[in-house]
């Protein structure tokens, strides 16, 4: 993305890394297993290697998504964006997550959302246009793998314009 194209938006939609099984604890308190931490660090390394740095990050308030973001951020030294945690990403559906994204200020051209299945896959599927990568679109229809991160972009003057089939899905990073 270049500064000469102010309407260009990049949306990264990530499913949390591999977490421990329920084991009788409340679902929101489940934590990442070592594989989940590794997945999160790999996504951070991928973004860093691609020169992609979100300036706005929306994270579910569940422990495993918070830890996933910590792992991603650990691979992005000097990160100085704004991060917020939202119960709506945990308990809501695509409509609630879309509203959170649509409320982001236009100055934030690169946004990362860290959440859960099936909402993340439904979000990717709904936003992806006809020019999207067919294999990535098929993966989103099946579901996002743990740690999987969808990379979508498009020309939107503001995030408020985000709607069905308004972005191109380029790939799903599978750490």
The HSE-up count of residue 109 (CA atoms within 13 Å, CB side) is: 15
- Give the strand order in the sheet containing 110-115: 82-86, 56-60, 110-115, 8-15, 149-155, 168-173
**Domain 8-173 maps to which CATH number in 3.40.30.10, 3.40.50.970, 3.40.50.1240, 3.90.1170.50?**
3.40.50.1240
DSSP 129: -
For residue 5, name the pLDDT band (cuts at 50, 70, 90): low
* CB-based contact 120:147 (threshold 8 Å): no
pTM: 0.95
pLDDT, tens digit, 9 for 90 and up, residues 86-142: 999 999 999 999 999 999 999 999 999 999 999 999 999 999 999 999 999 999 999
Cis peptide leading into 95, omega within 30 of 0? Answer: no
Euclidean distance between CA atoms 74 and 64, whole angstroms: 15
CA distances for 56 relative to 82, 103, 135, angstroms: 5, 11, 28
Residue 12: burial class (beta carbons within 10 Å; 0-12, 13-18, 19+): buried
pLDDT per residue as tens digits for the range 29-88: 999 999 999 999 999 999 999 999 999 999 999 999 999 999 999 999 989 999 999 999
Q: What residue ranges do the domains of the chain occupy?
A: 8-173
> Which residues lie across from 139 on neighbouring strands?
none
């Amino acid at each position: 993305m270049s500064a000469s194209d102010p309407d260009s938006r990049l949306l990264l939609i990530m499913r949390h890394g591999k977490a421990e099984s329920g084991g009788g604890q409340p679902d929101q308190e489940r934590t990442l297993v070592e594989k989940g931490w590794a997945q999160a660090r790999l996504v951070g390394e991928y973004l860093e290697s691609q020169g992609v740095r979100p300036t706005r990050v929306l994270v579910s308030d569940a422990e495993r998504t918070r830890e996933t973001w910590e792992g991603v951020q650990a691979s992005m030294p000097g990160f100085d964006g704004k991060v917020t945690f939202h119960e709506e990403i945990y308990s809501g559906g695509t409509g609630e997550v879309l509203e959170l994204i649509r409320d982001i200020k236009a100055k934030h051209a690169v946004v990362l959302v860290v959440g859960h299945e099936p909402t993340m896959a439904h979000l990717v599927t709904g936003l992806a246009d006809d020019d999207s990568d067919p294999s990535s679109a098929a993966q989103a229809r099946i579901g996002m793998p743990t740690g999987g991160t969808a990379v979508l972009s498009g020309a939107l003057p503001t995030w408020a314009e985000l709607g069905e089939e308004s972005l191109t899905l380029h790939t799903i990073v599978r750490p």
